[in-house]
Structure 1
Amino acid sequence: MNEPRGGVFKHCNIILEPSHKNADAGFIIMEPEDNPPMSGSNAICVTTVLLEKNIIKMQYPTTELTLEAPGGLIKVIATCENKKVKSVTLTNLACFADKVDVNLKTKNFGSIKVSTAFGGDSFLICNANDFNLKIEPKNAKKFVNIAKELLREANLTIGFEHPTIEGLNYLSFCQFVEPLEKNTKSILTGLNTVVIRPGKLDRSPCGTGTSARLAVMKEKNEIQINEEFISRSIIGSTFKASIEKEVFINNKNCIIPRITGSAFITGKQNLYIDKDDPFPEGYRLNDTWPDL
């Protein structure tokens, strides 16, 4: 996602004909640095565009689709009204907690408790309180800088390897969480922020991050099957989430999460490559791309 067509803050989904016979559409997730196996917020965006732009015919009151993400098949149910997708509920890949409440030794922060999990991609999960930070917009840059050290140390000393997704042998994202609480309706809720390479925060509550957190919560007996959980982001956006069921895959206790959220089409853009363009693959500078 290089400039000038992309950038640090731009993500893109390429919609393709599916390779799996049971899928209605396939999509490849393009982030600034990575192509993850799955993304909840991107799956919600793709579903919204497919239906609102009539690429796939919208059904009322719900449209059920199967999407082929790089990591596998995803079932989605879109709630539709007046040619609009009001919400999308997706059933994620099998997710699991890998290591729970283990010690991570760091140079600048001492020894801290962390967990690792797969929620559609690999996550290092840390408590924001351990760094005396609240998850709020004014601390965004601080979380980014802390995450770089934590991920570097965690990949060296804790590690991660997915049993079936080839090449996923590292921790991709760092998720900071605040303690769980009950809202005024006695529904379990939690605030999080996820750092995405090369150095920015997810603006959504992060579907894969929420799924990874659910896996750790289930391992720690903090949530039950079908119990509602509201995942909140640093800007106040929310996903409704729950655990549909538990499964045992590749000698691992896994969960199947459900995530519900909404997306909104904000514009249309055409991108081109001129045959005379001296930079057909784009470029990067460290005024916006960190760590170059």
Structure 2
Amino acid sequence: MNEGLSKVRWQPPENWLQVDTIDMHTGGEPLRIIVDGLPEIPGQTVLEKRRYFRKHLDHIRKALMWEPRGHADMYGAVLTAPVTPDGHFGVFFMHNEGYSTMCGHAIIALVKFALEAGLVQYPEDGLIRIDAPPGRIDAFAEMKGNRVVKSSFHNVPSFVLLQDKTVDVPGVGNIRFDVAYGGTFYAFVDADEIGLELVPQQISRIIDLGRKIKKAVVRNFDILHPFEADLSFLYGTIFTGKPKDGKHHSRNVCVFANGEVDRSATGSGVSARAALHAVKDGLETGKKLVIESLIDTTMDVEIADVTSFGPYSAVIPKVAGTAFFTGQHRFLIDPDDPLKEGFLIR
């Protein structure tokens, strides 16, 4: 660095908002974790805290997820105090359109962050207890020295809501789909059946079809969580297809929120797939599936247990993957900036 520039020390005015983040990725999917700069977020549950944030602090979501600080496919996490007596911390998730109910790639990254940043001391029982919007997430870490080399978690009960349904998608035709829940609801469509190739070069078509299918399903079918109205919505469309690597089970490409495309295999998505495969293919407890993403990264999923959830037969998925740190940032928001809340082109 130029010697003169190395001596420059600039401090923003006191009335500017400063937000500190740690950035990570899991399988290529970004995660921006807010670690400082937020006021106290009231609420007795994570969902109450999320409602408060949406009502009073949504400008921070926009500023950090949208351009120029983020981009159309950015993803974030807001850490909170635990809301259960034995919880280590709470979290809710945000993206370009608003807030999601569950995020597996974020949980995988947060396990690494929590242990390596000292937020959580490695528990004697090896169990990291995370309070999330759909309920308790039990997470685990595979350690090498003081580094987390792989994270895994037991998701909330996952189940099939709709099976082998068809819907007329304007401009596309009749599409066969399933809807399953893995902490949030997805419509699953076989990519081969609609002539869709799950490769990055087809990203525009993937987004277009994902949006159209989601809108058609929402327009024609009720998506209802058995206990919680805040969880009763279709989050996205997941296209499944043949793997690039013959040793893997399949490919998984998720289009969610406002046309976001998950770069990872989607932790809540593969959880829902475990429930689907249990119903449709008789997937047995403990049989591991390795599922690819759009960019060839992978997540593992298996059924850890079977249970029931309201009127549904359900499974407890175990999902595993790897995460990495990519940066740490202090974002500045100038109150006089006309674009202080960000913008999106897409």
Structure holding more helix per residue: 2
Deviation at 1:241, TM superposition (A): 0.7
Question: In 1, are the aligned partners of 2:66 and 2:74 still within 8 Å (CA)?
Answer: no
Structure 2 match to 1:129? 192
- The answer as to 2:286 corresponding to 1:226 is yes
Deviation at 1:12, TM superposition (A): 1.4
Structure 1 match to 2:135? 72
Question: In 2, are the aligned partners of 1:103 and 1:113 still within 8 Å (CA)?
Answer: yes
SS at match of 2:328: coil
Match for residue 155 of structure 2 among 92, 96, 105 = 92
SS at match of 2:202: helix
Q: Which whole-Å deviations, capped at 9, do the CAs of 1:192-237 have from their partners, x for residues lacking one? A: 1000221131000000111111111111134111111111101011
Amino acid at match of 1:149: K
Structure 2 match to 1:10? 74
Amino acid at match of 1:88: S
Deviation at 1:275, TM superposition (A): 4.4
Deviation at 1:6, TM superposition (A): 3.3
Structure 2 match to 1:201? 261
- The answer as to 2:169 corresponding to 1:106 is yes
Match for residue 161 of structure 1 among 206, 220, 224 = 224
Question: In 2, are the aligned partners of 1:244 and 1:255 still within 8 Å (CA)?
Answer: yes
d(CA) in 2 for partners of 1:144, 1:278: 30
SS at match of 2:106: helix
State the structure with bigger RCO (CA 8 A, min sep 6), 1 or 2: 2
Question: In 1, are the aligned partners of 2:143 and 2:150 still within 8 Å (CA)?
Answer: yes
TM-score with structure 1 setting the length: 0.90
- The answer as to 2:214 corresponding to 1:151 is yes
d(CA) in 2 for partners of 1:132, 1:222: 27
Match for residue 119 of structure 1 among 179, 182, 187 = 182
Paired residues in the alignment total 282
SS at match of 2:206: helix
d(CA) in 1 for partners of 2:244, 2:165: 23
**Could you say what the CA RMSD is over the residues aligned between the two structures, in angstroms?**
2.1
d(CA) in 2 for partners of 1:36, 1:140: 22
Greater radius of gyration (CA): 2
Question: In 2, are the aligned partners of 1:44 and 1:261 still within 8 Å (CA)?
Answer: yes
SS at match of 2:323: coil
Amino acid at match of 1:284: F
Structure 2 match to 1:44? 108
Runs of 5+ consecutive residues of structure 1 not aligned to the other structure: none
d(CA) in 1 for partners of 2:243, 2:221: 25
Runs of 5+ consecutive residues of structure 2 not aligned to the other structure: 1-64
- The answer as to 2:265 corresponding to 1:177 is no
Structure 2 match to 1:284? 343
SS at match of 2:204: helix
Percent sequence identity over aligned pairs: 23
d(CA) in 2 for partners of 1:69, 1:167: 13
Amino acid at match of 1:233: S
d(CA) in 2 for partners of 1:243, 1:80: 23
- The answer as to 2:86 corresponding to 1:26 is no
Structure 2 match to 1:273? 333
d(CA) in 2 for partners of 1:112, 1:136: 20
d(CA) in 2 for partners of 1:16, 1:107: 42
SS at match of 1:272: strand
Deviation at 1:165, TM superposition (A): 2.2
Structure 2 match to 1:213? 273
Moved more, 128-137 or 143-152: 128-137
TM-score with structure 2 setting the length: 0.77
Compared CA separation, residues 249 and 58, structure 1 to 2 (3 A): closer
Question: In 1, are the aligned partners of 2:75 and 2:96 still within 8 Å (CA)?
Answer: yes
d(CA) in 2 for partners of 1:251, 1:180: 34
Question: In 2, are the aligned partners of 1:58 and 1:83 still within 8 Å (CA)?
Answer: no
d(CA) in 1 for partners of 2:123, 2:297: 27
Deviation at 1:246, TM superposition (A): 1.2
Amino acid at match of 1:115: D
